[in-house]
Amino acid sequence: MKAFLMEEFKLDKNNIPKHVAIIMDGNGRWAKKKGELRIFGHTNGVGSVREALSAAGEIGVKFLTLYAFSSENWRRPKEETSALMDLLVQSIYNELDDLNSNGVKLATIGDVEVLPKSCQIALKKAIESTKSNKKITLILALSYSSRREISLAVQKMAQKVMNGQLEYTAINEDLISSYLSTANYPDPELLIRTSGENRVSNFLMWQLAYTELYFTKILWPDFKKKNFYKAIYDYQKRERRFGKTSEQLLNNDA
C-alpha cells in the first residue's frame, strides 16, 4: 500500500514537508448529506484523522497540526460542543495504544485549561504516555485562536519590558515566534483545508506567513490517505521562493 501510493503520486522523498497543518472542515455538511446529525460527521472524521496521521508518518512528516476545535467553536450549540469533547476523550483513550506503537508523540496548542476536566485528564495522560515517542508529533489545536495566541505573546513581552527584563529593541520575528505556543516546532510548509472553504479562520496566522495553501472540496470524513498524498504531490510541484526570483533560486544565491 505504502510503496503503491508513494509511486502512484510520484512523491519525492527528498522534498517532504516537515510540518503539515490541516483545517478539518465539512463534518457537519457530510452528515447532513446523509440525513444524519452533525456529530455523526465528527465521529466519522476521526477515521480521517487516523488516515492523515498514518499517511504523514509513512512519508516522514515530523509534525502534524490539526485544527480540532477553535475558540470560536464554543459558540456552537452546547449539545454539539459537549458531544465533540466526549468524542475527543473517547478517541484519545481508544487510540492511545496505537499512538504509542506508531511512535506518535501527542501535544496540544490552545487554551486547554478551558476544556472539560475529563478532556484535560485524558490529554495529560496521553501526553505523558507518548512523550518519548520520536517518529511524528501530533499537535491538536484545541480551543485555539491565533489572534489570542499572538495577544498573549505580546502581553508576556510587554510585561518583561516593564520589569526591565527585555529591551524593546530586542523584539524581532524570532523572539515573537519563541513566545508563541508553537515555539518548539518549525512553521508548517503546507496547510490543507477541506470542504471547499478558502479561508485561514484564525489558525496559525503568524506561522503561515510562507506556507503553501492547499484547498480541496472533499469533506473531512471523506479525506483519505490518497487525498493526503495528492496534497503533498501538489506541494512538491510548487516552487517556494520566499520572496526571491526563480533565477536566484536556480543560481542558489543567498
Interacting residue ranges for ligand FPP, rule: CB under 6 A:
24-29, 38, 42, 45-46, 49, 66, 68, 73, 87-88, 91, 140, 195, 220
Task: Identify the active-site residue in 73, 102, 133, 227.
Answer: 73
Q: How far is the CB of 29 from ligand FPP (least distance, A)?
A: 3
CA dist., res. 5 & res. 56, Å (int): 12
- Residue whose beta carbon is closest to ligand FPP: 28
Q: How far is the CB of 120 from ligand FPP (least distance, A)?
A: 15
Set of cell numbers at residue 252: 542558489
Between the alpha carbon of residue 53 and those of residues 37, 135, 184, 188, 200, the distances in Å are: 26, 11, 20, 15, 21
Task: Identify the active-site residue in 15, 25, 133, 222.
Answer: 25
H-run or E-run covering 127: helix 117-129
Annotated catalytic residue 97: no
Set of cell numbers at residue 44: 466519522
CB 192 within 8 A of CB 227: no
Spacing of C-alpha 146 from chain mean position:
12
Give the amino acid at 195. Answer: S
Set of cell numbers at residue 64: 502534524
**CB-wise, 73 or 177, nearer to ligand FPP?**
73
Q: How many CA atoms lie less than 13 Å away from 229 in the CB half-sphere?
A: 21
**CB-wise, 33 or 240, nearer to ligand FPP?**
33
**CB-wise, 139 or 153, nearer to ligand FPP?**
139
Q: How far is the CB of 62 from ligand FPP (least distance, A)?
A: 18
**CB-wise, 85 or 171, nearer to ligand FPP?**
85
Set of cell numbers at residue 235: 506541494
Q: How far is the CB of 17 from ligand FPP (least distance, A)?
A: 20
CA dist., res. 28 & res. 41, Å (int): 6
**CB-wise, 17 or 26, nearer to ligand FPP?**
26
Q: How far is the CB of 27 from ligand FPP (least distance, A)?
A: 4
Annotated catalytic residue 25: yes
Indicate which residues carry an active-site annotation: 25, 73
